[in-house]
Homo-oligomer: A and B are copies of this chain.
Amino acid sequence: MSPNNTSSTPKVINPQNSIAEERKAPGFPIRELTYWIDGGKKATELKEYIMLELERDPLWRVNDNPNLTLAETRERAMKKIRRLADQAMSLPLENTMVRMSIISVVDPGFWTRFGVHFGLFVGALQGQATPAQLAYWMEKGALSMQGITGCFGMTELGHGSNVAGLETTATFDAATDEFIVHSPTLTSTKWWIGGAAHTATHCSVYAQLVVDGRRYGTKTFVVQLRDTKTFELMPGVNIGDLGKKMGRDQIDNGWIRFTYVRVPRSHMLMKHTKVLRSGKVIEPPLAQLAYGALIQGRVSMVSDSANVAKRALTIATRYASVRRQFGDGAIETKLLDYPIHQHRLIPLVAQTFAMIFAAREMTSCYRQLMGELGRLGDATGAKADEAIKNLKETHATSAGLKAFCTWMCLNIIDQCRQSLGGHGYSAYTGLAQAYSDFAVHCTWEGDNTILTLQCGRYLVATALEARKGQPLPANLAYLNHVVAQNGSTKSTEPCTGSTAEEVSELRVLEAAWGSVAANAILSAVRAFETGQAKGMSKDNAYEFSSAARLHAARMHSYTYLLQRFVTQVEQSPTALRPVLTLLARLFGAHSAVQHSGEFLQSGFYSGPQIETLKSFVNLACTEVRKDTIPLTDAFGYTDYVINSPLGRYDGNVYEKYFDLVTSLNPQKPVPYFDSLIRPLLERSTESELGPELEIDQEE
């Protein structure tokens, strides 16, 4: 029997129609924005070609990842290595770079598995080997994984960030012309070594160089871990598997202990420090070029933050445009039509654009700088000094930005996940795993807190030098006021506007952020000077000022992001300028409201102006809301890359979510019904003891 439907049945709106109406009248040319984000039509087309290629390759299936065991996850990752290695050898570098940037979104654990060899191991050779050594290892197949698979042995159980404090030793034995690599303590065990558990034949081991009883600091040694024919461990090498992690289970992190393992002297990478046959150690004059590799890694993590945030926001905004809830009419209201939901998501869209543009500017600035340094060679003089100064600035800013953007992205992922309600907790909607995979970005390649402090230290030192007359790098021009006024907190003229329009103009926001960043740096300088006045050493005075330094770096990073955003808006095609300008203003204003105390204290904005800024944020959210779906469409990821039924382009979320869950989890009889559930249900209430044993019976 089928009961009749009643007239009061609520109206159900087809989700495909809900999302289609979002695309009816985009306020800007979507395709043009995609080109602008990707860096041109050609770049977009290459990205699209690669997305399609991956999607069609059965090896690259990813939507069943949550149902794989650790062993299956590791094995599947290994299967993909070979194809990618061959592609990396035969295709142009640009292809590999775009491919890896997509893989870092689709399958971040695999990205790491592959990157350990091609990025870290080969990178160590390229950065630290002499030309002859590099040629030797390349000939042995190190680049193409023919004969050699590498891992990167820096971190130890007891030492991470403090590389100078590593305990593993490499002691020169002049008698045999060898180094003896040894793990003297438990805490010196190499730990977190990606690829060690299952993949690597060789390792670039960071160890204390010891010659004639004297320590020369941490250097790098290539040590063979396994026989390349049998994969048996080499004598003196012990390896174990680190097992389950929070995320990125595709990569087989392991631990390694060395027990007096001998390697030829030539296995020490000697581009910088050299050990001669005699045991004489020749140390390099300057180590500043080593900064370069660090900067590159950090810049790539800013890009990665932007890319992962793009995916998270595509999922969250598409779902919010089809999910309906409450409302006062017959049709429930779309989540995205709620002001509070706009407040949750739309400022994050603006943050994502800020990261996209910062990554691009950072990349081009880095390339330009490396080019300059390359051309300079060993030259000295004013030009070289200038280049070194820029290198230091880029190094510090990239440290702060890496920390700031990875934290920002981690927050975006979790905010997006929470915005999916309960469905965000499913492993099949994509953001739970995205969080777990991404979280490690806040720790590796420099712990975020330590990087932020480094950036803060640079800012303090630069302000101090500027006081002594040194010119400021362009990105720190906002410090001029501080330097000139030498200690006053009012570093710039306060905002005079009163309308929402006036207080949120881009040039006003830039001045506002410059003022706040300058004040924050000034506070850090003061804290440092207070420490020194108390008789502390320079290092201790820096420690004493660490909270203020961290804050200064944070304010500097916001300012940098806003500045780069503005530059990119100015350079953008005319048709995109209105929407990008609005997003830049939203980014600057929303961040300012979140830190309103700083702006009130710097005196840039008054209390009423902050209130006006808040109403601008409300207005901007309402305004951007109209184009939210076109904006996340413009990120240009296919459904394959989005890899979440809730983030589908066509809005058909419920059917596809149901299909995915049911196809991956076919219902079977409950495996432990007979062994566990039946005995539970059928157990007796009677006491098993029977009548009590009475011992005090009367006779």
Interface-lining segment among A66-74, A307-315, A351-359: A66-74
- How far is B155's CA from A157's CA once the two chains are assembled, in angstroms? 45
Interface residue stretch chosen among A23-31, A34-42, A47-55, A180-188: A180-188
A222 contacts B by Cβ under 8 Å: no
Stretch at the interface among A363-371, A425-433, A629-637: A425-433
A340:B453 contact, CB within 8 angstroms: yes
Chain B residues with Cβ below 8 Å from A670 are: 198-199, 231
- Neighbouring B residues of A242 by C-beta, 8 Å: 426, 661, 665
Within 8 A of B (CB), among A129-160: 141, 144-149, 155, 157-160
Instruction: Decide: B665 and A231 in contact? CB cutoff 8 A.
Output: no
A625 to B36, CA, bound (A): 51
What is the distance, in angstroms, from A274's C-beta to the closest C-beta of chain B? 20
Q: Could you say which of B3, B10, B339, B432 contacts A436, with CB atoms under 8 Å apart?
A: B432
* B4→A187 contact, CB < 8 A: no
> CA A180 – CA B145 in complex, angstroms?
65
In the complex the two chains form, is A241's CB within 8 Å of B340's CB?
no
Residues of B within 8 A of A218 (CB): none
Is A544 engaged at the interface, CB distance under 8 Å to the other chain? yes
A453's nearest neighbour on chain B, judged by CB, is: B340
Q: Does A389 contact B (CB under 8 A)?
A: no
Assess the A658–B157 pair: CB atoms within 8 A: yes
Determine which of B7, B442, B669 lies in contact with A418 in the assembled complex, contact meaning CB atoms within 8 Å: B442
The reply to whether A3 and B199 form a contact with Cβ atoms under 8 Å apart is no
Q: Output the nearest chain B residue to A594 by Cβ-Cβ distance.
A: B597
A78: B residues at CB distance < 8 A: 672, 676-677
Cβ–Cβ contact B243 & A665, under 8 A? yes
- A198 and B671 CA atoms in complex are apart in Å by 8
The reply to whether the CB of A388 lies closer than 8 angstroms to some CB of chain B is: no
- A425 lies within 8 A of B449 (CB): no
Contact of A447 among B213, B421, B546, B654 (CB under 8 A): B421
A145 to B684: give the CA distance in the assembly, Å: 11
When the two chains form their complex, are residues B610 and A654 in contact, meaning their CB atoms are under 8 A apart?
no
- CB-CB contacts of A590-628 with B at 8 A, as 1s and 0s? 000101111111000001001100100010000000000
- The answer to whether A189 and B8 have CB atoms under 8 Å apart is no
Q: Would you call A501 an interface residue if the criterion is a C-beta within 8 Å of the partner chain's C-beta atoms?
A: no
Complex CA distance for A539 and B422, rounded to whole angstroms: 25
Contacts of A443 in B (CB 8 A): 418, 421-422, 424-425
Interface string of A71-112 (1 = CB under 8 A from B): 100010011011001000000000000000000000000000
Q: Are B667 and A189 touching (Cβ within 8 A)?
A: no
Interface: A557 (CB within 8 A): no
Taking a contact as CB atoms under 8 Å apart, the answer to whether B421 and A165 are in contact is: no
Option from B539, B597, B672 in Cβ contact (under 8 Å) with A599 = B597
Query: Contacting chain B: which of A277-285, A324-332, A502-510?
Result: A324-332
Contact of A669 with B231 in the complex, beta carbons under 8 Å: yes
Q: Is A379 an interface residue (CB 8 A)?
A: no
Of B421, B667, B680, B682, which contacts A241 at CB under 8 A? Answer: B667
Digitize A635-672: 1 where CB-to-B-CB distance is under 8 Å, 0 elsewhere.
00000000000000000001101100110110101111
Our pick among B66, B165, B171, B184 for the contact of A325 (Cβ within 8 Å) is B165
- Cα distance, A1 to B7, chains bound together (Å): 91
From residue A399, how far is it (CB to closest CB) to chain B in Å?
15
From residue A423, how far is it (CB to closest CB) to chain B in Å?
A: 8
Tell me if A2 counts as interface (CB < 8 A to partner B).
yes
A258 on the B face (CB < 8 A): no
Chain B residue at smallest Cβ distance from A431: B246
Chain B hits for A157, CB < 8 A: 654, 657-658
For residue A215, CB closer than 8 A to chain B, the reply is: yes
Known: A75-B676, A425-B246. A1 touches B158 (CB 8 A): no
A242 and chain B: residue at smallest CB distance: B661
A187, B325: Cα distance in complex, Å: 13
A507 to B448, CA, bound (A): 37
| Interface pair B664/A3, CB less than 8 Å apart | no
Asked if A467 lies at the interface with its beta carbon under 8 angstroms from chain B, I say no
Query: B residues within 8 A CB of A160?
Result: 325, 421-422
* A173 located at the interface, meaning its Cβ lies under 8 Å from any Cβ of chain B in the complex: yes
**Nearest chain-B residue to A238 (Cβ)?**
B667
Q: Is A439 an interface residue (CB 8 A)?
A: yes
8 contacts between A and B (CB under 8 A): A81-B676, A146-B681, A187-B654, A197-B667, A243-B428, A418-B449, A597-B600, A601-B607
Which residues on A are within 8 Å of B, measured CB to CB?
Answer: 1-10, 12, 66-67, 69-71, 75, 78-79, 81-82, 85, 141, 144-149, 155, 157-162, 165, 167, 169, 171, 173, 180, 182, 184-187, 189, 191-192, 197-199, 201, 210, 213-215, 228, 231, 239-247, 255, 260, 325-326, 328, 332, 338-340, 343-344, 414, 417-418, 421-422, 424-428, 432, 436, 439-440, 442-444, 447-449, 453, 489, 537, 539-540, 543-544, 546-547, 550, 593, 595-601, 607, 610-611, 614, 618, 654-655, 657-658, 661-662, 664-665, 667, 669-673, 676-683, 685
Which 9 residue pairs of A and B lie closest in terms of their CB atoms, listed nearest first? Answer: A596-B597, A246-B432, A244-B427, A597-B597, A243-B665, A340-B546, A66-B244, A600-B600, A241-B665
